[in-house]
Amino acid sequence: MMDNFTPNRFVDELNEAGIPQDFHDLLSGHGVGALVVKMGIRFSELSAERTVATMPVAGNTQVAGILHGGAHVVLAETLGSFAASLHAGPGRHAVGIEVGATHHRSIASGTVTGTCTAIHLGGTLATHEIVMTDEKGRRLSTARITNMIRDNRG
């Protein structure tokens, strides 16, 4: 059963995901999301201009034993969406309208790092490029996400 009344009920989830304390109030009502938790994504930087997180390969592989292409996209969309949401600011939210990825190299073990960099931060659209690398810094995939910035409904 979901508890909608306990303040900061996601504090453990936010800490586990590496969310800086400065952002706990912003995310305390909904946490980081079940998929972020399930994929093992851990944030190390969080801003509209640059967001960085890691994800383990273990548990996120496809039948051939390599990181699933969709896992690359989950990491990319997570980073781009968090960055766009920060850009949107209070009273607004980001809604993904386009995501695409190119896979350059496979990985079968270790940790993937996603680095999200703003390409465009406008009043109605935010576009980010996300580069996934392995532990040696080799590029695994490149993704781009565009989010529409909308006003919250009152």
Identified catalytic residue from 13, 16, 77, 129:
77
Q: Pairing mode, if any, of strands 42-45 and 139-151?
A: unpaired
How far apart are alpha carbons 78 and 80 in whole angstroms?
6
49 catalytically annotated: no
**Distance in Å from the first CA to the final CA of the chain:** 27
Are the C-beta atoms of 76 and 145 separated by less than 8 Å?
yes
Are the C-beta atoms of 80 and 99 separated by less than 8 Å?
yes
Q: Find the DSSP H helices in the chain.
A: 11-16, 24-27, 34-39, 69-88
| 8-state DSSP, 110 | S
Are the C-beta atoms of 8 and 19 separated by less than 8 Å?
no
Residues catalogued as catalytic: 77
